[in-house]
Structure 1
Amino acid sequence: MSAVETRQSGRTSGRRATEFALAVARFLVIAITTYLGLLAVTFFIGRVIPIDPALAVLGDRALPSVVERTRREMGLDLPLIQQFYLYIKNALSGDFGNSVLTTNPVMTDLRRAFPATIELATLGTLIGSVIGVPLGVLAAVRRGSLTDQFVRVIGLLGYSIPIFWLGLLALVLFYAKLQWVAYPGRIDIVYEYSFTPVTGFYLLDSAMQGQWDVFRDVARHIILPASLLGYFSLAYISRMTRSFMLNELTQEYIVAARAKGLSETRIIWGHALRNAAVPLVTVIALSYAGLLEGSVLTETVFSWPGIGLYITNSLQNADMNAVLGGTILIGSVFIGINLLSDLLYRVLDPRTKAA
């Protein structure tokens, strides 16, 4: 390699390193700014709600002197800016205070409840993706046919039907009438005290420990709420898959592939879907984040002991520490998945590298 080529290679490497450093810096700035915005929103919501945190801890019959002392201990007598600084400091260290409802540290309750929500949302996303992507592809390939109309109606119903109404209807049919699934909850009381979870994911823990009777019981409890979440995820994923595939099927490389005599199956699944998979990764990631933060009604209907049910019970008992802690956790996960999906899109799509 000549000296000129060596210098050009060095400049290219230096430019790529600079671009990568700038991309990382932008990513960090966006993440930090968004998270601080989330903390600011939750802080001011906690201050404008007409609930005195001291009274929520002590009760309405507490003596005024005790209430005043508790307010000082909680820092509620400090200037608002100083309260906000302490709030950020505590939140960054994972200290959201104690729950009025359970008397435990909020972070302890969140560690217990969050795996249940992750397990439910993950299974729901898998169901939605495994069924939704093929349906979207089929609808795009047979555009305007009865199959296409059927898939679009399925998606429209998924957007339109309230999930709590569909959940109650599913319980009446599959649990009360047909008895195909177990009653609401996460695990039968027979196994609740004999089964020791390790990771908090009951399906994984029971399989790793070889307790297949527990695995079957947990599966019978989770299948119905996960299927409902999967249906709503399917509605979004199938619609977006159809849109991406319709765009890809009109591209010139599809015409060239057909001119070369490639089979329609290879063209659709090997070429069109491969290119559509780049934005589809972002869609599935955002759908997953949506199930994590939007499963409140599902968990309430099915008595699923996750973050959604925890926040609902906390709201009903004016437990604002728990509500704000759960909101921050869900918001943080949503921000993280959103930024990660954007990063994956940039990695997988060569056009964004050239931009």
Structure 2
Amino acid sequence: MKGLIRYIITRIALTIPMVFVLLTIVFVVLRVMPGDPVSALLGAHAPQAVIDQKKEELGLNKPIYVQYVNYIGQISRFDLGNSMVLKQTVWSTIKDKLPATIELTLFGMFFTLLIGVPLGAFAARNRRSPADFGIRIFGNVAYCIPVYWMGLMLQLVFAVWLHWFPVAGRTGARVVISSFSTTGFYVLDAIIAGNIPVLLDVLDHLFLPAITLGIVLSGVFIRLTRANMLDTLKADFILAAHARGVPDRFVTYRHGLKNAFVPILTMLGLQFAILLSGAILTETTFSWPGMGRLLVERIYLRDYPVVQGVIVIFAVMVSVISLIVDLLYALIDPRVKY
């Protein structure tokens, strides 16, 4: 137990410098990019006196190193600052968008595992068969497809041509947004309220963007599951199970897949960061009101505090998920000791 507590404290301590390094990179990149928040706010033809006054109000007239020191001190106090575009705090802006991104990411990961793990296990069980080759080709193609292109194709087929799902948005026009004020997670709020029609509407809008992420990232898990399953199926305990007459399907999916799942769980934590980056493009494609779309909009507006705040939240989320996956890894594999 002491070793586990020490490991958690160490991971948290390592997260802090990582966040500051990431913030430093984002801080510098934003300020060397063409344009500035004042021009985005006032336009290119605003009087110079008004521009200077606005820069002084936002603190942009100070040297860049002074701005950096002030911002790092602000972050150290767990204060993300205020938006340069809207008169509201960065946290209140992010808080409204964060549940949408988390919801999309979780359902995207669900479809990733639902597609990737069973197909990878089936391919390993039927090694060198036509099904195996077909699944491997699908995995490679899925991994190479840009997520926005996949989203556009699914929109075209299932929304425009077949009319099975809505093209974009998080809810239908007739759904009252205020009914989701409990947690901000629309699926959870609909379940809490016991409103089945609203729940179906939310799931209807969630399906296409989530399956888009799921298909694109499933290729990684198909290859990983297949490779680990092939190694596991050669183990002595698998041969012993076959010798005792245990059915092949039971041996493959009960014993083999369970023991091959440890590296899959590790990859799950690593892919979470890719899911968040994929969510940015997916949210833009499907007009999903989440963190990714917020980040793109505020980059165009040069809203430095909001962009930096979104990056901080992303970094913390990835670190927390990685820590949780490491702890689960230790619980699943008794050989791992902290």
Q: What residue in structure 2 maps to residue 349 of structure 1?
A: 333
Separation in structure 2 between the aligned mates of residue 140 and residue 174 of structure 1, nearest angstrom: 31
Give the number of equivalent residue pairs. 337
Q: Is residue 297 of structure 1 aligned with residue 281 of structure 2? A: yes
Q: Is residue 120 of structure 1 aligned with residue 104 of structure 2? A: yes
Separation in structure 2 between the aligned mates of residue 128 and residue 21 of structure 1, nearest angstrom: 31
Alignment of 1:5-24 (within 5 A): 17=2, 19-20=3-4, 22-24=6-8
Q: What residue in structure 2 maps to residue 231 of structure 1?
A: 215
Q: Is residue 270 of structure 1 aligned with residue 254 of structure 2? A: yes
Separation in structure 2 between the aligned mates of residue 237 and residue 120 of structure 1, nearest angstrom: 19
Using the TM superposition, give the Cα deviation of residue 58 of structure 1 relative to its aligned residue in structure 2, in angstroms. 4.2
Q: What residue in structure 1 maps to residue 116 of structure 2?
A: 132
Q: What residue in structure 2 maps to residue 182 of structure 1?
A: 166
Task: Show CA shifts across 1:264-290 (max 9, x none).
Answer: 233222322222122211222333332
Aligned-partner residue type, residue 75 of structure 2: A
Using the TM superposition, give the Cα deviation of residue 20 of structure 1 relative to its aligned residue in structure 2, in angstroms. 4.1
Q: Is residue 334 of structure 1 aligned with residue 326 of structure 2? A: no
Q: Taking structure 1 as reference, are residues 347 and 77 closer, same or farther at Cα in structure 2, changes over 3 Å only? A: farther
Using the TM superposition, give the Cα deviation of residue 109 of structure 1 relative to its aligned residue in structure 2, in angstroms. 1.6
Q: What residue in structure 1 maps to residue 229 of structure 2?
A: 245
Q: Is residue 212 of structure 1 aligned with residue 196 of structure 2? A: yes
Alignment of 1:80-229 (within 5 A): 80-92=64-76, 93-100=78-85, 102-193=86-177, 195-229=179-213
Separation in structure 2 between the aligned mates of residue 340 and residue 297 of structure 1, nearest angstrom: 26
Separation in structure 2 between the aligned mates of residue 310 and residue 301 of structure 1, nearest angstrom: 13
Using the TM superposition, give the Cα deviation of residue 66 of structure 1 relative to its aligned residue in structure 2, in angstroms. 4.1
Q: Taking structure 1 as reference, are residues 352 and 207 closer, same or farther at Cα in structure 2, changes over 3 Å only? A: closer
> TM-score, normalised to structure 1's length?
0.86
Task: Show CA shifts across 1:150-204 (max 9, x none).
Answer: 2111111211222222222222221122111123111112113563431111121
Aligned-partner residue type, residue 221 of structure 1: H
Using the TM superposition, give the Cα deviation of residue 134 of structure 1 relative to its aligned residue in structure 2, in angstroms. 1.2
In structure 1, the residue corresponding to 2:337 is in which secondary structure?
Answer: helix
Aligned-partner residue type, residue 173 of structure 1: V
Using the TM superposition, give the Cα deviation of residue 116 of structure 1 relative to its aligned residue in structure 2, in angstroms. 0.9
Aligned-partner residue type, residue 94 of structure 1: D
Task: Show CA shifts across 1:229-284 (max 9, x none).
Answer: 11123222222111111121122332233334433233222322222122211222
Using the TM superposition, give the Cα deviation of residue 140 of structure 1 relative to its aligned residue in structure 2, in angstroms. 0.9
Q: Taking structure 1 as reference, are residues 89 and 346 closer, same or farther at Cα in structure 2, changes over 3 Å only? A: farther
Separation in structure 2 between the aligned mates of residue 137 and residue 187 of structure 1, nearest angstrom: 36
Structure 2: gaps spanning 5 or more residues:
none
Separation in structure 1 between the aligned mates of residue 331 and residue 31 of structure 2, nearest angstrom: 41
- Runs of 4 or more, structure 1, over 6 Å off, are none
Give the structure with higher Rg (CA).
1
Q: Taking structure 1 as reference, are residues 330 and 28 closer, same or farther at Cα in structure 2, changes over 3 Å only? A: closer
Which stretch has the larger CA shift, 89-98 or 277-286? 89-98
Q: Taking structure 1 as reference, are residues 194 and 114 closer, same or farther at Cα in structure 2, changes over 3 Å only? A: closer
In structure 1, the residue corresponding to 2:197 is in which secondary structure?
Answer: helix
- The answer to whether the Cα contact below 8 Å between 1:158 and 1:232 also exists between their aligned partners in 2 is yes
Flag the structure with more relative contact order, 1 or 2, with Cα contacts below 8 A and sequence separation at least 6.
Answer: 2
Separation in structure 1 between the aligned mates of residue 147 and residue 8 of structure 2, nearest angstrom: 39
Aligned-partner residue type, residue 219 of structure 2: A
Separation in structure 2 between the aligned mates of residue 26 and residue 66 of structure 1, nearest angstrom: 49
Separation in structure 2 between the aligned mates of residue 193 and residue 333 of structure 1, nearest angstrom: 26
Aligned-partner residue type, residue 161 of structure 1: I
Separation in structure 2 between the aligned mates of residue 69 and residue 340 of structure 1, nearest angstrom: 47
Q: Taking structure 1 as reference, are residues 25 and 109 closer, same or farther at Cα in structure 2, changes over 3 Å only? A: closer
Q: What residue in structure 2 maps to residue 11 of structure 1?
A: none
Using the TM superposition, give the Cα deviation of residue 73 of structure 1 relative to its aligned residue in structure 2, in angstroms. 4.0
Separation in structure 2 between the aligned mates of residue 21 and residue 188 of structure 1, nearest angstrom: 46
Q: What residue in structure 1 maps to residue 55 of structure 2?
A: 71
Identity, % of aligned pairs?
35
Q: Taking structure 1 as reference, are residues 225 and 152 closer, same or farther at Cα in structure 2, changes over 3 Å only? A: same
Structure 1: gaps spanning 5 or more residues:
1-15
Aligned-partner residue type, residue 314 of structure 2: I
Using the TM superposition, give the Cα deviation of residue 349 of structure 1 relative to its aligned residue in structure 2, in angstroms. 2.4
- The answer to whether the Cα contact below 8 Å between 1:27 and 1:339 also exists between their aligned partners in 2 is yes
Which stretch has the larger CA shift, 218-227 or 266-275? 266-275
- The answer to whether the Cα contact below 8 Å between 1:54 and 1:71 also exists between their aligned partners in 2 is yes
Q: RMSD of the TM alignment (CA)?
A: 2.4
